[in-house]
Amino acid sequence: MNSTLGFEKIFYISLPQCVHTGKSSNFCSIASRIWIFQVAFADQITLIHSHISRTDRQDAMALIAAASGLSLTREHGVYGSLIHEKARPYGSHYLRNEQLGCWRAHANIWRKIISENIETALILEDDVDWDINIRSVFAELSRQMSLQTDFKHLTPKWDRGQVHMNTFQRKGSGWDILYVGSSSNIPNLNNLPPRYIYQDPEAPEYDKVGRQYRLELEIWGVNTSEQTNSRVVAPSWYPVGALGYAVTRSGAQTLLYNLGGYNGLQSPVDLAMISLIQNGILDAYTVIPPLITPFWVGGARDSDINEEKYMEEGTERALGSENLRNSARLALAELIKH
């Protein structure tokens, strides 16, 4: 498997540093580049405010990508407060600025996929974790998808003699989204669709699988009382969160058209994507347990969208992540001299 896990590109979203100067001038300083949002000339700068910049997460992503042999492209997160009123989607006045900015950051990548003619891409948030052997994990997923016959649209291009080939770069493929990372996933219990179960030697042991995913594995017919290394691929129904998902160019077109572009936006982007799935507009699949998971450091630092909720609840999660056999972030201590 190659450094982009069989996709043409891997993008991850992370907030840049944004500085407001004075009452009528503000700009974002991003590395050596400056993005001008509004320019006004004044006799003096009276006040400077700095928005949050997740350089901590950017450092972590650089480290685990290097340790795993991955090539990532960082795309800037968006501050919803800086989106001009005229550019806000119809119906989005119910959304908080953080939710609006989250949508715009994903929409920017969908637009890039379309304009740069990218066939498939993997989109990640900047607080994720994965198995240190992530390339083997995706190679096995690709191999299994080439063997299964239940979801013909999901069958990737596969060369048995060239495991490193870009196996998910397939023009004309029928799928739109492949969820490889989600906060939780709820299947359609009223009409349970076909599923594909496969064994992955890199899948997490039973005690490392989150409770919600243990229950879902049982729903799909996996015996979780045993030390199984099973994964399930099934049509998506209610995948919560846009933590990590692959999208085709046609899927990006569908997303950009339906979410904000022409049809407005009435809910957070992950819930809006679910609505498209349940209405048959997007052809989506989910991998269970997920290959990409959130990494928790504890408290308000774990969210840039629901920070107040974390502070109010005083939620302190243990350092680490679920659903992985060998966390890449926790493996850094053994891999890097210190």
Question: Do residues 125 and 244 touch, judged by C-beta distance below 8 A?
Answer: yes
| Confidence tier at 153 by pLDDT (50, 70, 90) | confident
Token output for 82: 């800086």
Nearest to 145 by CA among 118, 173, 117: 173
Amino acid 224: pLDDT: 78
Which of 37-51, 218-232, 239-253, 318-332 shows the lowest per-residue confidence on average (mean pLDDT)? Answer: 37-51
Amino acid 321: pLDDT: 85
Q: Does residue 38 have a pLDDT over 60?
A: no
Amino acid 161: pLDDT: 47
Higher pLDDT, 58 or 22: 58
Higher pLDDT, 74 or 24: 74
- Residues 93-121: pLDDT tens digits? 989 999 999 999 999 999 999 999 999 99
Residue type, 336: I
Domains belonging to the chain, first-starting first, are 9-14+55-335 (3.90.550), 17-52 (no CATH)
- Residues 157-182: pLDDT tens digits? 555 444 434 456 555 457 899 999 98
Query: How many residues appear in the chain?
Result: 338
Amino acid 52: pLDDT: 60
Q: What is the mean pLDDT of residues 125-154?
A: 91
